Amino acid sequence: MGRRGGKRGNWGGKGRRGGGGGGQRAANYDPIEKKNELFEKYYGELGLFDGPEDVEAFWTALRRELPNSFRFAGSKGHALTVQERLVSHYIPEIKTVELDGQLAEPPKQLPWYPENLAWEMKTPKNVVRRYAPFASFQKFLVSETSVGNISRQEVVSMIPPLLLDVRPGMTVLDLCAAPGSKSAQLIEMIHGGEEARVRKVMKDIAKEEGREASPDGIEAALEQSQLEKEDDWSDDGRPTGLLIANDVDYKRAHMLIHQAKRLNSANLIVTNHDATMFPSIQLPSAPGQSQRYLKYDRILADVPCSGDGTARKNPGVWRDWIPANGLGLHTMQARILVRALQMLKVGGRVVYSTCSMNPVENEAVVAHAIERCGGLQKVELVDCSDQLPELKRRPGLTDWKVMDRNGEFWGSWEEYEKGDDVSTTKDTKNKVIPEVFPPVDSSPEDKVPLERCVRLYPHLQDTGGFFVAVLEKKSEIRALPEGRHNRVALLEQQKKKAIDGTASEKAVKEEEPANGAATSPLNGDRASTKRTLEDPSETVQDETPPKKQRVEEEPSDVRTEKTEEQPTVATEAPIKAPAASTNGHAAPEDSKPTPAGLTGTASAILKSQDTRPPRKSNQPFEEPFIYISPHHAVVDEVYEFYHIAARFPRTRFMVRNATGEPAKSIYYTSQLAKDILSENQGRGMKFVHCGVKMFQKQDAQGRDVCRWRIQSEGLPIIDAWVGEERVVRLYHRETLRKLLKEMFPTLGGEKWRELGEIGEKARDMSMGCFVLRVEQSEEEDGFQERMAIPLWRSINSINLMLPKEDRKAMLLRLYNDDSPLIDLSKERYNQINKPEDSPSPIDVDAADPATDVGADEKNADAKGGALSEDEEDGGVPLKGCGASESASIPATEPSSAPDVGENQPE
């Protein structure tokens, strides 16, 4: 993993590689001509637009560069506070810029985004570079993006999570999640109102115990949180919901982890599976009770697609567009959607989305999946025209033509089959299958209201092109095996109806599946008694795992594209499934072919019964997730040292090493995440991330010092439960400024006085980790937002345990200060270590007991010490937060563990 925030900080710099088969890399050196005969013919003749002006506006917009867009991320209260800086400081400055005699246009809020937290900026890059107010705004964007307070995201990509309507407490699955911008939105929704709920719980507890509640802006926080609407109180206000974010691509799954990590969610699990056969997840069940499986309230299927809606940011689309791109993806997209519908709770919602405008990848997939799931009695296509009313949109298509790879249009499967060029029509590689055409309705009640889908075109509100459909599960489904017979049977029914006026409603259901899936002993009703190891409510799909896809690395919203052909009818192809694993890491999907004739589920059953040791594989090794005993000595120690309230759950601490012993880091997860990890490890599930780092092992002097310091990531979760004995309160801006600016300010002599309001407390406090609570106040020199930061007291100094990037971002946001940080420990060391008078480590301390510079700190310097500003800007990997962050840790002045890759095992 690279430097924190690496790619997220890419604002207006050089072009990035994009999806859609090309990208701006080419645009930088050899501009791609925005022309493509087939592309223009296809969208020109599909009849998507309202007359010539509309058509013209569409193509003009599609050829224009895409505006920048971003949203303020994290908890609502925090996002609003960070946004306030843009509103009150940068926008007024930008408004003073004159461009060609006109005042510059500042960034604008998107009117339909909740709390107006999403923005777009149309100013061209060359202007941004030239004018100081833009340049300083740019600096703010980069800084806040790098610490995760701003998420750079395409406007249209923000829509699917909003239509998914996630509420706290829900169980959500994001099937194709990387690089994770939508997952980040989903996590925020799961955590909605958390801060205020927890504070209210604490207030109530204090009242019960006859104590004063902590004196700060609780009322304001309560107001912000819409507590009336939120209903997730069962875990003392902590969210009980869960997001499982999945991606088939391991590297991209890690990009997602990096992106989501800043949200510090204990309610996130990242998995690495093929979404077309995402495994059923077991839940714990009482002895003697039947097995329970996880069902989801909400599923996002933001599937890989041809990405032709991204042509504005990925000019490669213009060069590479061919009809086979969309045709080749349809089957996999439908499989993902069917799998999503299978795993959904009755009454739950799936949002299906693509950044393609092609009906073959959109309406055709929706109709195909509904058809396979048993029609509109089972799955409703939801009318969401009343949601996000200010978002301009067009209805889904109910009729369309299909272009074959020769550029010829066909109106229906029948027409296509009868086509003149028999060799083409019979060519299965051509990907033209019955399901890519508009659906065939056996009766008016079966007509899928595809107009309820949402289409977004570039010219409607200056965005990329996009497609969204919202589906609701009405009752349990048994998906029909995929294959031509479904649609063909319907066509035949229709023909028959036309001839003799009778429709055989049972025809499809009684049809023998072409792939034999329904006759498998492990499939359909006949198999229900045998299904001991998988969710009986899900019908087996006949799976052919997708072959290799081309994946472009792109931090925001990039589609992947298949380059290889994939059989559309999965009949005799050998089925492959994840290999068994005894320790949570699985062999690659293709390492263990399933015996021919068995379905994916059958294979999963065999797999889970497989007790052989895991095979050697190319799958990167993932350490197991092991929960530690609530009575473990380390748990006792931290509870005692930090005076953590007994009510805070002791059972959810986890380590990532095979011994199960706390060695370097202790993570915390929600209860549901724990249940899932504990129940499913060793069953072939590929978990790649879960848990927020809560405690980090720290070398320290002094017998009574707890060696486990609280990590800044975990602090928001445990903060409210830490006893006053380990809390320092801070109210004044200037005090925090000093602590942010200076690393390791000394307390020796009278130096503690320089720390103002906290000086005396700092002087007198014992060594080890404290929680610095920055409280809200109405004072002029007060804070609008409460914050909690870990603080370390060494022998003679204190230090905020905060990564440098966070310090810098806070200094810029709160104080408009972008001058370099001051590392006082380094200065002290350099002073003492003048060449002519270089004392031994013992001499150092003896010479000046006011310094904390000891042998380890010297070592740190010898190994390179802290990174200079220049080095950082030069992209040297930045790790940790202290002065000695890239080297060994001084015994008395701790640095944090690497702040990237913290999902990685110890």
Ligand X SMILES: C[S@@+](CC[C@H](N)C(=O)[O-])C[C@H]1O[C@@H](n2cnc3c(N)ncnc32)[C@H](O)[C@@H]1O
Annotated binding site for S-adenosyl-L-methionine: 176-182, 247, 274, 302
- Identify the CA nearest to 742 among candidates 858, 845, 827, 812: 827
Nearer to ligand X, 179 or 768 (CB): 179
What's the min distance (Å) between Cβ of 560 and ligand X? Answer: 4
- 791 in Cβ contact with 769 (< 8 Å): yes
What's the min distance (Å) between Cβ of 73 and ligand X? Answer: 13
Residue 686 near ligand X by CB under 6 A = no
Please give the structure tokens belonging to residue 706. 């707890």
In 277-391, where does DSSP find H-type helix?
316-320, 323-343, 363-372
Please identify which residue in 424, 425, 549, 904 interacts with ligand X, judged by CB under 6 A: 549
Interface with ligand X by CB under 6 A: which range of 392-400, 551-559, 741-749, 795-803? 551-559
Please give the structure tokens belonging to residue 239. 């969210």
d(CA 170, CA 21): 36
Q: Which value, in Å, is the radius of gyration of the alpha carbons in the chain?
A: 29
Nearer to ligand X, 86 or 244 (CB): 244
Residue 326 near ligand X by CB under 6 A = no
Give, as one character, the DSSP assignment of residue 212.
P
- 624 in Cβ contact with 656 (< 8 Å): yes
Interface with ligand X by CB under 6 A: which range of 245-253, 417-425, 604-612, 881-889? 245-253
Q: List, edge to edge, every strand of the sheet that includes 68-72.
A: 108-109, 118-121, 68-72, 150-152
What's the min distance (Å) between Cβ of 451 and ligand X? Answer: 24
Cα–Cα distance list, 787 to 78, 219, 732, 790, 806 (Å): 9, 16, 12, 10, 13
Dump the DSSP string for 549-577: EE----SS----EE-S---SS-SSSPPB-
What's the min distance (Å) between Cβ of 275 and ligand X? Answer: 3
Residue 559 near ligand X by CB under 6 A = yes
Nearer to ligand X, 245 or 382 (CB): 245
What's the min distance (Å) between Cβ of 20 and ligand X? Answer: 11
d(CA 544, CA 573): 7
d(CA 284, CA 403): 50
Site string for ligand X, 165-194 (x = CB under 6 A): ----------xxxxxxxx------------
- 633 in Cβ contact with 263 (< 8 Å): no
d(CA 742, CA 900): 23
Residue 308 near ligand X by CB under 6 A = no
Q: How many residues bind ligand X (CB under 6 A)?
A: 25
Please identify which residue in 247, 320, 713, 775 interacts with ligand X, judged by CB under 6 A: 247
Residue 482 near ligand X by CB under 6 A = no
Residue 534 near ligand X by CB under 6 A = no
Residue 543 near ligand X by CB under 6 A = no
Please identify which residue in 16, 167, 238, 252 interacts with ligand X, judged by CB under 6 A: 252
Residue 557 near ligand X by CB under 6 A = yes
Phi, psi dihedrals of residue 533, rounded to the nearest 5°: -115, 10
Residue 157 near ligand X by CB under 6 A = yes
- Identify the CA nearest to 239 among candidates 809, 742, 867, 669: 669
Binding site, by residue number, is 176-182, 247, 274, 302
Interface with ligand X by CB under 6 A: which range of 243-251, 602-610, 657-665, 751-759? 243-251
**CB-based contacts of 378, cutoff 8 Å, min separation 6:** 370, 473, 474, 475, 476, 477
Residue 523 near ligand X by CB under 6 A = no
Residue 538 near ligand X by CB under 6 A = no
Residue 248 near ligand X by CB under 6 A = yes
d(CA 579, CA 624): 16
What's the min distance (Å) between Cβ of 215 and ligand X? Answer: 41
Nearer to ligand X, 552 or 845 (CB): 552
Find how far residue 886's CA is from the centre of its chain: 28
Tell me whether residue 305 is one of the annotated catalytic residues. no
Name beta bridge partners: 860. Answer: none
What's the min distance (Å) between Cβ of 514 and ligand X? Answer: 22
Interface with ligand X by CB under 6 A: which range of 246-254, 289-297, 308-316, 534-542? 246-254
What's the min distance (Å) between Cβ of 361 and ligand X? Answer: 11
Please identify which residue in 5, 217, 304, 890 interacts with ligand X, judged by CB under 6 A: 304
Residue 643, phi-psi category: left (phi > 0), alpha (psi -120 to 50), beta (remainder): left
d(CA 339, CA 351): 13
Write down the catalytic residue from 355, 453, 690, 769: 355
Please identify which residue in 265, 560, 698, 712 interacts with ligand X, judged by CB under 6 A: 560
Residue 414, judged by CB atoms within 10 A of its CB (0-12, 13-18, 19+), counts as: middle
**Dihedral, CA of residue 603, residue 281, residue 366 and residue 511, to nearest 10:** 40
Please give the structure tokens belonging to residue 441. 């309705």
Residue 23 near ligand X by CB under 6 A = no
Nearer to ligand X, 120 or 249 (CB): 249
What's the min distance (Å) between Cβ of 467 and ligand X? Answer: 12
Please identify which residue in 189, 269, 275, 432 interacts with ligand X, judged by CB under 6 A: 275
Nearer to ligand X, 368 or 632 (CB): 368
Residue 274 near ligand X by CB under 6 A = yes
Nearer to ligand X, 83 or 259 (CB): 259
- Identify the CA nearest to 301 among candidates 357, 248, 239, 377: 248
Name beta bridge partners: 470. Answer: 351
Please identify which residue in 265, 276, 541, 670 interacts with ligand X, judged by CB under 6 A: 276
Residues marked as catalytic = 355
Residues forming the site for ligand X (CB under 6 A): 157, 175-182, 246-249, 252, 274-276, 302, 304, 546, 549, 551, 557, 559-560
